[in-house]
Amino acid sequence: MRNARIIFARELKGFLVSPIAYIVISIFLIVTGWFFFSTFFLYNQAELRTFFGLLPVTFSFIVPAVTMRLFSEEFNAGSYELLKTQPVRSLDVVLGKFMAAAVLVAIMLVPTLSYGIFISFIGDLDWGPWVGGYIGALLLGAAFSAVGLFASSLTRNQIIALITGMAICFFLTLIDKMLFFLPEGAVGVFQYLGADYHFQNIARGILDSRDILYFLSVSFVMLYGTHLVLEERT
Amino acid sequence: MIRIDQLTKYYGNVCAVDGISFEMRKGEILGLLGPNGAGKTTTLRILTGYLKPTSGNIFVKEYNIHDHALEIRKLIGYLPEAAPIYPDMIVYDYLRFVADLRGLSGEAVGRRIRELAGLCGISEVMHKTIHELSKGYKQRVGLAHAMMSDPEILVLDEPTSGLDPNQIVEIRDIIREIGREKTVILSTHILSEAEATCDRIVIIHRGAIAADGTTDALKRDGGAEYAVHVSLALNDFEPVREAFSRVPGVAETRLVRAENGALDLSLTCREARDLRPEIYRVIRDHDWDLLEFGRQDRTLETIFRQLTREN
């Protein structure tokens, strides 16, 4: 765990000194801010539903942009050879990089807290969905970080990592919107696979263990997959 | 200290390393020599745990690479070719990161980094980012990285490639300095480098060992063979060739150059004793005007060429 922490610290610092992180954070804030406020005054409701409603889609392209460099850049620059030949287990490398990405996503969410504060001045904000929404956003961000990390471990090309990561995230987000194409028996399964479905449950302010378990399982499967990919790279 | 046992590595259908076996004693500086693509880097990458072998094993002390990968990595400091260090990091931060991963802590970290900065001559670039550094400095940072935990074994892959002659001399001096206490294995395709820095040389060609021994031993065996260089003030090569070919022991008379009425010849001698008196007698008997005369022993270069010539 000590090694995972060391790698986490290096990666997070690497994010914070690179311009890409700030560009991605800016884009995220502009997109969410615009979608949120462009409809906010139409509904005349003191709630963050439009913000949280779009978050899985926004995260589907923002989070893979954050994570795309984590392994691809190292493979491409060759620095992975230096990392791999240190006395560090690949599991520590995976966990360290994953935590760095998840924390960056959390940092990205901090400025959006102001939306809630802003609304609470002009109306009566329901704090339950607000808290639930942010817990859900953290879980969603972590799960998508794991997806993006996995995509990054597959290739030395960051663009391919980005597109692969986005494709998996979009699939998870949109799968429960496609249910009418599916035979009835499969509906339950695919609904359970849908990230948006679970996220919206939590964002309503209902913390169900099934929804939390979903995000933890996605993270676990993706991190384990990353670990296997790294072990197979010989 | 290190025992490599029937190491084989395939990349798909391509065989990069084909059943290499050799042993290394503690404190030895071993040079892995071979043309590009001979399997040097692959061998080193398996030793350092970056790649897994297709078959075979490597034993380091009481450990082997299949069961004790982490323990072996702790014993080894590794500098890959071209030192691919994180380009965006500051030198000091990078060395700190390595020190942390290597399990150094507290005051020891700062002390060790200062020591290595002195030894590798990087004190003045500690606060530069790595992509700003010249190749030579990058290589030194790589060396400092490899030596961070004071490992017993140092593995250096082409440590001087791409450096200018001054930098090469400096890096070699550092390697020799380290080699006094450590076991060092380095790969190179520069013969003079292997000769200058290594106690022992293993020549690999097409994934297999072509020769193994000290530089002196390599020059001595492999058949007694040397060249005698003769330069004569003559125009005609044929009669000269005929005359020399009658000397027993002279295997080949080769014309190196003919210009301005002078012939430069190289006589290949396959005989343990010195054939120069007999060759000189031939020259004297024909009353040729002798311009130059001398013996050239086998250099590492000729051995290398012989061993690694295609087919």
Tell me whether B50 touches chain A (CB under 8 Å): yes
Output the domain CATH number for residue B234: 3.30.70.260
Domain end position, chosen among B184, B217, B250: B217
- Same domain for B39 and B108, yes or no, is yes
Any CB–CB contact under 8 A between B301 and chain A? no
Give yes or no: residues B174 and B265 share one domain: no
Selecting from B50, B73, B93 the residue whose C-beta is nearest the C-beta of A81 gives B50
Q: Is the pLDDT of residue A40 over 80?
A: no
Q: Does B97 touch chain A (CB under 8 A)?
A: yes
- The yes-or-no verdict on residue A31 having pLDDT over 50 is yes
Q: From chain B, pick out residues whose CB is under 8 angstroms from the CB of A87.
A: 70-71, 73-74, 101-103
CB of B189 within 8 Å of any CB in chain A?
no
Domain end residue (candidates: B217, B241, B262):
B217
Q: What is the tens place of the pLDDT at every residue in B226-245?
A: 788 889 888 888 888 888 88
The SS3 call for residue B266 is strand
**Do residue B230 and residue B213 come from a single domain?**
no
Residue B41 sits at the chain A interface (C-beta within 8 Å): no
Residues B45 and B102 in one domain: yes
Contacts of A220 (CB under 8 A, 6+ apart): A146
Q: Where are the beta strands (DSSP E) in B25-151?
A: 29-33, 55-60, 63-64, 76-79
Asked if residue B172 and residue B46 are part of one domain, the reply reads yes
> Is residue B311 very low, low, confident or very high in pLDDT (cuts 50, 70, 90)?
very low
Contacts of B144 in chain A (CB under 8 A): none
For residues B193 and B279, membership in a common domain is answered with no
Are A10 and B97 inside 8 Å of each other by CB? yes
**CB-based contacts of A182, cutoff 8 Å, min separation 6:** A190
Residues B47 and B177 reside in one and the same domain: yes
> What's the rounded Cα separation, in Å, for the pair A46 and B261?
104
Do the chains contact at B103 and A234, CB–CB below 8 Å?
Answer: no
| Tokens 């007694």 sit on residue | B224
| % of chain B exceeding 70 in pLDDT | 96
Q: Are B262 and B233 in contact (CB under 8 A)?
A: yes
B15 touches B8 (CB < 8 A): yes
In angstroms, the CA B252 to CA B266 distance is: 8
- Residue B98, chain A, CB below 8 Å: the answer is yes
Answer yes or no: do B84 and A78 touch at CB < 8 A: yes
Q: Specify the pLDDT at position B221.
A: 63
Closest-CA distance, A234 to chain B, in angstroms, reads: 5
CB contact under 8 A, B80 and A84: no
Note whether A77 contacts B87, CB cutoff 8 Å.
yes
Q: Examine the domain organization and report whether B182 and B50 are in the same domain.
A: yes
A217 lies within 8 A of chain B by CB? no
Sole residue written with tokens 């922490």:
A5
Tell me, what amino acid is at B32?
A: L
pLDDT tier for residue B98 given thresholds of 50, 70 and 90: very high
- How far separated are the first and last CA of chain B, in Å rounded? 34
**Residue B236 DSSP class:** -
B111-162 pLDDT per residue, tens: 999 999 988 888 999 999 999 998 888 988 998 999 998 899 999 998 887 7
pLDDT at B214: 82
Q: What's the pLDDT at B208? A: 87
Which residues in B lie closer than 8 A to residue A3 (C-beta atoms)?
Answer: 101
Three-class HEC string of A126-185 = CHHHHHHHHHHHHHHHHHHHHHHHHHHHCCCCHHHHHHHHHHHHHHHHHHHHCHHHCCHH
A232 at the B interface (CB within 8 A)? no
Tell me if A109 sits within 8 A of B112, measured CB to CB: no
Look at B150-154, B193-197, B203-207 and tell me which has the smallest mean pLDDT.
B193-197
Half-sphere exposure of B261 (CA within 13 A, CB side): 4
User: How far is A221 from chain B, CA to nearest CA, in Å?
Assistant: 25
For chain A, the average pLDDT equals 89
Mean pLDDT of the region B251-272: 83
Which distant-in-sequence residues (6+ apart) come within 8 Å of A195 by Cβ? A56, A140, A143, A144, A169, A172, A173, A214, A215, A218
Question: How many domains does chain B fold into?
Answer: 2
Is the pLDDT assigned to residue B222 strictly greater than 60? no
**Which of A176, A164, A174 has the alpha carbon at shortest distance from A225?**
A164
> Given B51, B84, B98, which is nearest A77 (Cβ)?
B84
Chain B's closest residue to A80, CA to CA, is B84
Asked if A84's CB is within 8 angstroms of B50's CB, the reply is: yes
Q: Tell me which residue range forms the domain holding B127.
A: 2-217
All residues of chain A having their beta carbon less than 8 Å from the beta carbon of residue B49 are 84-85
Q: Kindly list the domain boundaries of chain A, sorted by start residue.
A: 2-232
CB A116 within 8 A of CB A34: no
Q: Does the pLDDT value for residue B206 go beyond 50?
A: yes
Residue-level pLDDT at B242: 86
Judge if B59 and B137 occupy the same domain: yes
Q: Are residues B168 and B114 in the same domain?
A: yes
In chain A, which ranges are E strands? none
Query: What is the residue-averaged pLDDT of chain B?
Result: 86
Q: What is the pLDDT of residue A169?
A: 95
